[in-house]
A and B are shown apart, each in its own frame.
Chain A
Amino acid sequence: MLAHDILIVGGGLAGLAASLQADPTLSVALISRVHPLRSHSVAAQGGINAALGNHPEGRDDSWEKHAYDTIKGSDFLADQDAAELLCREAIPMIYELEKLGVPFSRFPGGVIAQRPFGGAGFPRTCYAADRTGLVIMHTLFEQAWRRRVKIYAEWLVVKLLVEHGICQGVVVYDLTSGKIFPVRARAVIFATGGYGRVYLKTTNAYINHGSGIGIAYKAGVPVKDMEFVQFHPTSLYNKNILITEGARGEGGYLLNRHGRRFMADYAPQAMELAPRDIVARAIQTEIDRGNGFEGEYVLLDLRHLGAEKIKKRLPSVRDICLRFAGLDPIEKPIPIQPAQHYSMGGIDVDLNGATSLPGFYAAGECACVSVHGANRLGGNSLLETIVFGKIAGREASRYVKGSEIREASSHFLESEASKVEEKVKEWLRRQNGEKVHRLLNRLKVVMSEKVGIFRQEKDLALALEEIRHIREDYEKKGYLAGQCRRFSQEMVNMLEFEYMLDLCEVITLGALARRETRGSHYRLDYPERNDNEWLKHTLVTYRDGRPVLSYKPVTITRYPPVTRLY
Chain B
Amino acid sequence: MARRYLFRIFRFDPEKDEQPFFQDYYYEEEKPKVILEALMDIRNEQDATLAFRYSCREAVCGSCGMVINGRFELACRTRLNSLGTETIILEPLPNLPVLKDLVVDLEPFFEALEAIKPYVMFEEEVEGGRVQGGQEESLWLSSPGFRIEEKEMEAIEPLTNCILCGCCFSACPVVARDERYLGPIALAKLYRYIRDPRDRRSFKDWQHVGNSSGLWGCDTVFRCNEVCPRQVNPAHALLALRRRYVWEKIKQILRKSK
Contacts and interface: CB of A to CB of B under 8 A. Distances in A.
B201 interface: no
A323 to B, nearest CB: 5
A40 B153 contact: no
A206 B156 contact: no
Given A319-B59, A482-B47, A487-B99, A206 B148 contact: no
Contacts of A135: 160
A98 interface: yes
B48 A101 contact: no
B86 to A, nearest CB: 21
A317 to B, nearest CB: 11
B48 A488 contact: yes
Contacts of A131: 60, 160-161
B144 A37 contact: no
Nearest to A143: B119
Interface stretch (B50-58, B176-184, B212-220, B234-242): B50-58
B96 interface: no
Contact of A484 (B44, B48, B160, B162): B48
Contact of B60 (A43, A98, A111, A480): A43
A95 to B, nearest CB: 4
Contacts of B199: 101
A38 B56 contact: yes
Contacts of A239: 57-58
B120 A486 contact: no
Given A101-B119, A142-B119, A486 B13 contact: yes
Given A101-B119, A482-B47, A487-B51, A109 B147 contact: yes
Contact of B77 (A38, A324, A482): A324
B63 A482 contact: no
A435 interface: yes
Contacts of B59: 319-320, 323
> What size tier do the contact residues of chain B reach?
35 or more
Nearest to B230: A319
Nearest to A203: B58
A562 B225 CA distance: 56
A134 B77 contact: no
B62 interface: yes
B60 A482 contact: no
Contacts of A35: 63, 106
A447 interface: no
> What size tier do the contact residues of chain A reach?
35 or more
Given A316-B60, A323-B59, A483 B148 contact: no
A530 interface: no
A37 B164 contact: yes
B79 to A, nearest CB: 9
Nearest to B125: A146
Interface string A464-501: 00000000000000001111101111100000000000
A37 B44 contact: no
Interface in A23-63: 34-35, 37-40, 42-43, 52
Nearest to A489: B43
A429 interface: no
A490 B160 CA distance: 34
Contacts of B100: 486-487
B6 interface: no
Contacts of B147: 109-111
Given A37-B164, A95-B144, A207 B55 contact: yes
Nearest to B151: A106
A392 interface: no
Contact of A34 (B63, B153, B160): B63
A482 B58 contact: no
A52 to B, nearest CB: 8
Residue of A37, A39, A112 with highest tally of chain B CB at under 10 A: A37
A138 interface: yes
Residue of B54, B61, B103, B157 with highest tally of chain A CB at under 10 A: B61
B30 interface: no
Nearest to B59: A323
Interface string B63-78: 1000000000000010
Given A106-B148, A323-B77, A435-B44, A40 B55 contact: yes
A241 B99 contact: no
A241 B61 CA distance: 13
A197 to B, nearest CB: 11
A52 B120 CA distance: 23
A358 interface: no
23 contacts: A34-B61, A38-B62, A38-B63, A39-B61, A43-B61, A95-B143, A98-B145, A100-B120, A108-B149, A109-B149, A110-B149, A111-B141, A131-B161, A138-B160, A143-B119, A176-B99, A205-B55, A205-B61, A206-B40, A206-B54, A486-B100, A488-B49, A490-B43
Interface of B: 13, 15, 40, 43-44, 47-49, 51, 53-63, 77, 99-101, 103, 106, 114, 117-120, 141, 143-150, 153, 156-157, 160-164, 193, 196, 198-199
Given A131-B161, A142-B120, A319-B59, 11 more contacts: A34-B63, A37-B163, A43-B56, A108-B150, A109-B149, A110-B148, A134-B60, A206-B57, A481-B48, A483-B49, A484-B49
Interface of A: 34-35, 37-40, 42-43, 52, 92, 94-95, 98-101, 103, 105-106, 108-112, 128, 131, 134-135, 138-139, 142-143, 145-146, 176, 205-207, 239, 241-242, 316, 319-320, 323-324, 435, 437, 480-484, 486-490
Q: Which A-B residue pairs are the 8 nearest by beta carbons?
A: A482-B48, A101-B120, A110-B147, A142-B119, A487-B51, A106-B150, A95-B144, A490-B48
